Amino acid sequence: MTETVVERMPAPDPTAAAFFDVDNTMIMGASIFHLARGLVERKFFRTADLLGFAWKQVKFRVLGREDHQGIEDSREQLLSFVAGRRTDELAALCEEIFDSRIASRVWPGTRSLAQLHLAAGQRVWLVTAAPVELAEIIARRLGLTGALGTVGERENGVYTGKLVGGLMHGQAKADALRVLAEREGLNLANCVAYSDSHNDLPMLSAVGTAIAVNPDSGLREIARARGWEIRDFRTGRKAMKIGLPTILATCALAAAITAAVAGRRRTWQAPPPALGEACPRV
């Protein structure tokens, strides 16, 4: 089954816009994990530090659900890694990581939905718990209007390792949409939101039209109960071709990193294996 999107063009409306979650909605998997892997490869932190990210990615991909505390821990852990680094340095690395790890993981079907809104003259924002620097790069490279994301505190162009406010997650997304709507002259009743996660119920409920994309079990149940449209680009042969190998590769990644960490503990004089040798691409 090929992934095809055939749509009616949304009616032009300057007060209408579309909001897309990122992880497993716009891209396959968790953007924070792809960012972490890219930073490991660029010596921002150690391969062993990736283990926690790998386990959270396994849960996300295999179990199909997000853990709010796990997400918060991951963001705080990543912020601690970038503390003391220059913001322009991370921005440049995010550009590289988009090309090497994220561009090929964009869901074509979801991107087509975003393009329909743009073609109708509507603005399109990403709304994600990922660092805003990465979110803005993804939005710009996909030709979207902009992005709302988690903001890391900075002083004199250097990250402090702290958050400005909280995570762009759950209720925070809905609150951010209301602020954006007031600033941009949008009527949220005329807007559309797309997400895969039941954790985004506040955002989905804040707009006139909610669409579940690649939904987790919780959101699928809610969408059916409320009569929301469901789009699943993981089904059929496409899912067998992409989903299963990716899940297996993710599990292998976690095992490879665990083995590398254990080996380093047993033999301190032996350096950990290079990421490209120890970990398969996912």
Assess if residue 12 is contained within a domain.
no
In whole angstroms, give the CA distance from residue 53 to residue 72: 12
In whole angstroms, give the CA distance from residue 68 to residue 171: 12
Assess if residue 196 is contained within a domain.
yes
**Residue 227's domain is classified under what CATH number?**
3.40.50.1000
In whole angstroms, give the CA distance from residue 117 to residue 95: 25
Q: Which of 59-68, 79-88, 109-118 shows the lowest per-residue confidence on average (mean pLDDT)?
A: 59-68
238: exposed, middle or buried (Cβ count in 10 Å: 0-12, 13-18, 19+)? middle
Q: Which of 22-36, 56-70, 84-98 shows the lowest per-residue confidence on average (mean pLDDT)?
A: 56-70
The DSSP element (H or E) to which 230 belongs, if any, is strand 229-231
Domain tally for the chain?
Answer: 1
Assess if residue 131 is contained within a domain.
yes
Assess if residue 22 is contained within a domain.
yes
Helix (H, G, I), strand (E, B) or coil at 97: helix
- Quote the domain boundaries for residue 220: 17-235
Q: Report which DSSP code applies to 60.
A: I
pLDDT tens for 52-83 read: 555 555 554 444 455 555 555 555 565 666 77
Q: Report which DSSP code applies to 200.
A: G
Assess if residue 81 is contained within a domain.
yes
pLDDT above 90: percentage of residues in the chain: 44
Q: Determine the Cα angle at 82 with ends 78 and 88, to 5°.
A: 125
Assess if residue 40 is contained within a domain.
yes
227 CB neighbour count, 10 Å cutoff? 7
pLDDT given for residue 119 in this prediction: 93
User: Residues 44-58: what's their mean pLDDT?
Assistant: 58
110 CB neighbour count, 10 Å cutoff? 27
In whole angstroms, give the CA distance from residue 148 to residue 137: 11
Residues with a known catalytic role: 21, 23
> 169 falls in which pLDDT band (50, 70, 90)?
confident
Assess if residue 250 is contained within a domain.
no
Instruction: Name the token pair of 122.
Output: 């509507």
Assess if residue 253 is contained within a domain.
no
In whole angstroms, give the CA distance from residue 144 to residue 95: 16
pLDDT tens for 187-239 read: 999 999 999 999 999 999 999 999 999 999 999 999 999 999 999 998 654 44
